[in-house]
Structure 1
Amino acid sequence: MSNTQKLVIAALLTALVTVATMAFQVPIPATKGYINLGDTVIFIAALLLGPKYGALAGGVGSALADLLSPYAAWAPFTLVIKGIEGFIVGYILYKAFSGESNLKSRVAAMALGGLWMVVGYFAAEVLLYGTPAAIVELPGNLVQASGSALIALPVVAVMSRINVFKSVN
């Protein structure tokens, strides 16, 4: 698959990250934040397209969701945090596991990417609201990361069975 084709798929997945982030939200009243499904699409994009395009879909798609919602002040943090999350997932799979996409490599990649997201938002929340608020938000971010991985796993497994990964990489 050419770089142009990968870029087109990345653009579509970027839009899907935005939609998944905005369409399904579980509010966290204590912090006025929310749990969403955007990370599911970030994980799929990074596992499918690798670190560069995973970062693009994650960072831009999630930041765009913030800009289109009442969370615009979070967009710069989100761009960096979610972009690095997508990069980590793709990098772990394609560098540490040499592109071998199996259950072990996918879980490891998503666990490390999700952990980064949790740590990144914790740091941003400490900076903006202080440690107590960041601690309150921590369980929601953990649920979001783990839930997104659990949803992404079967999707990626099906995509692997129909050879989507072989045609893209």
Structure 2
Amino acid sequence: MEFEAIGAYAKPILTLAVLVYLVYIFVIKKEEFKKAQVVAISAIMTALVTVATIVIQVPTPPTRGYINLGDTMVMLSGVLFGPLVGAFAGGFGSALADAITGYAHWAPFTLIIKGLEGLVVGHIAYKREDFTGILIGTIIGGFIMVFGYFLVEVFFYGYPSAVVEIPGNTLQAVSGIIVGGGVGYIIKKRYPDIVSLIQT
């Protein structure tokens, strides 16, 4: 299968992701989450991830992808609101940006990679107020993103093309660590109650 042909499956996969997320909140964990807050915050952070991903796009011809600033909001989502929101906003928001800007063939992979990034950052950094804890969480999340795209690029385009992409993806990760982690840390210090918005 040609890599670009995968784009045809992007919309049903993204729709399924949303349905799974809603079922998880409203059915499986209906007693544990303040549902309205979770859905509202997830929607807001997803929109921010999508906009941050779209606003600056630098095409990378070797793998037919692009460099962007979406990781800033992916990491911020995880730092402020935990793994649930981090995973959904990171995965769905980033994949949605792929789907609507001509990179739909990347959307299914982005959904998984950026979702894992937000999940891990949220799991490690969400309940941490110290700078070190947030820094560690965002660094690990950034590594997951860079390595995840590297594996997909090796599979579809070969090792040389995948290596060319590492600096750009690393730049994305660093921007996420600095902006997402840094802003998240500042907000937590000044407005510590923000964490309680979706606590169980």
* TM-score scaled by length of structure 1: 0.90
Matches within 5 A, 1:111-126: 111-126=139-154
Q: How does 1:7-86 map to 2 (within 5 A)?
A: 7-86=39-118
- 1:121–1:166 distance in 2 versus 1, CA, 3 Å: closer
Among all aligned residue pairs of Structure 1 and Structure 2, give the percentage whose two residues are the same amino acid: 47
Q: Deviations over 1:103-129 (max 9, x none)?
A: 101110000000000010000101111
How do 1:139-158 residues align onto structure 2 when only pairs under 5 Å count? Answer: 139-158=167-186
Q: Does 1:2 align with 2:34?
A: yes
Aligned length: 165
Structure 2 gaps of 5+ residues are 1-32
Which residue in 2 is equivalent to 1:165?
A: 194
CA distance in 1, matches of 2:35, 2:145: 27
Q: Secondary structure at the match of 2:77?
A: helix
Determine the C-alpha separation between the residues in 2 that align with 1:57 and 1:75.
14
Please, which runs of 5 or more residues in structure 1 have no aligned partner? none
Letter paired with 1:51: P
Q: Which residue of 2 aligns with 1:105?
A: 133
Return the alpha-carbon distance in structure 2 between the equivalents of residues 80 and 154 of structure 1. Answer: 24
TM superposition shift of 1:83: 0.5
Question: How far apart are 1:64 and its partner, in Å?
Answer: 0.3
- State the 1:28 CA deviation: 3.3
The residue aligned with 1:138 is: 166
1:92 CA drift (Å): 1.5
How far has the Cα of 1:48 moved from its partner? 1.1
RMSD across aligned positions (CA)? 1.6
Distance 1:131 1:107 in 2: 30
Question: In the TM superposition, what whole-angstrom CA distance separates every residue of 1:8-53 from its partner, at most 9, and x where no partner exists?
Answer: 1111110111111011123335444322111110111111111111
